[in-house]
Chain A
Amino acid sequence: AQSVTQLDSHVSVSEGTPVLLRCNYSSSYSPSLFWYVQHPNKGLQLLLKYTSAATLVKGINGFEAEFKKSETSFHLTKPSAHMSDAAEYFCVVNYGGATNKLIFGTGTLLAVQP
């Protein structure tokens, strides 16, 4: 079955330290992969997307993610966390074709300590 797994439900970092949010997907072929962020009581905002071009994808607000097919991973990173990064992050897969729907991970809640 097609699925996406976010390995951590909560991550806490100090302001100014690196952020790593982990994501693995199941697939028999390369899907499109996305990271979305959701701030409290807000909708979802697209951070970045992978669509079979460069494996290192740069997004907004200093975030980037690397697609590793051999590991079926698409981890999200940021060199230096900011207080405004505190939010919930979703790793999302779109397999396209006959199943054109997004499959969401369960989310990782990022807390940033001062």
Chain B
Amino acid sequence: KAGVTQTPRYLIKTRGQQVTLSCSPISGHRSVSWYQQTPGQGLQFLFEYFSETQRNKGNFPGRFSGRQFSNSRSEMNVSTLELGDSALYLCASSPSGTGTFYGYTFGSGTRLTVV
């Protein structure tokens, strides 16, 4: 069974550009969440999608957005990149609506560097 697949693995962008990251969840998983990991702030929740609807959103500016497609694949977009957006972006999927009983399976992440 394939795990959570994130593409690309590494990305270098210039300040002011925008970027789109992709996440393919485990087959059958309908909940997809995104997290940002930085040395200073640790792991922070960005947003969660379930059945193409955003159910929860963390405390990030509107430059961070996402969506989920009918096949549960998800994308997140960051517009007008800032140096502080450099981070490891992790996607997690869960089979259930709440994730309470199954936990989340994480992908290997996309490391974004903004220069």
Q: Which A residues are closer than 8 A to B by beta carbons?
A: 32, 34, 36, 42-46, 49, 51, 90, 94, 96-97, 99-104, 106-107
Contact B103 A46 (CB under 8 A): yes
| B64 contacts the other chain (CB 8 A) | no
Report, nearest first, the 8 A-B pairs whose CB atoms are least far apart.
Answer: A104-B43, A44-B106, A43-B108, A101-B45, A43-B106, A96-B100, A49-B103, A32-B100
Subset of 16 A-B contacts with CB under 8 Å = A32-B101, A42-B108, A43-B109, A44-B92, A44-B106, A51-B101, A94-B99, A100-B97, A100-B99, A101-B33, A102-B45, A102-B99, A102-B104, A103-B45, A104-B35, A104-B42
Considering the complex, give the chain A residue whose CB is closest to the CB of B3. Answer: A43
Q: Which B residues are closer than 8 A to A by beta carbons?
A: 4, 31, 33, 35, 42-45, 48, 55-56, 58, 90, 92, 97-101, 103-109
Q: Which residues of A contact B99 (CB under 8 A)?
A: 32, 94, 96, 100, 102
Q: Which residues of A contact B98 (CB under 8 A)?
A: 94, 96-97, 100
Q: Which residues of A contact B90 (CB under 8 A)?
A: 43-44
Q: Which residues of B contact A101 (CB under 8 A)?
A: 33, 45, 48, 56, 58
Bound form: Cα–Cα A100–B105 in Å: 15
Bound form: Cα–Cα A90–B100 in Å: 17
Least distance between A105 CB and chain B CB atoms (Å): 8
> In the complex where A43-B90, A43-B108 touch, is A100 in contact with B103 (Cβ < 8 A)?
no
Q: Which residues of A contact B109 (CB under 8 A)?
A: 43
Contact B56 A99 (CB under 8 A): yes
Name the residue among A36, A44, A90 with the largest chain B CB count within 10 angstroms: A44
Q: Which residues of B contact A36 (CB under 8 A)?
A: 106
Bound form: Cα–Cα A32–B48 in Å: 17
Considering the complex, give the chain B residue whose CB is closest to the CB of A103. Answer: B45
Considering the complex, give the chain B residue whose CB is closest to the CB of A105. Answer: B42
Bound form: Cα–Cα A53–B100 in Å: 12
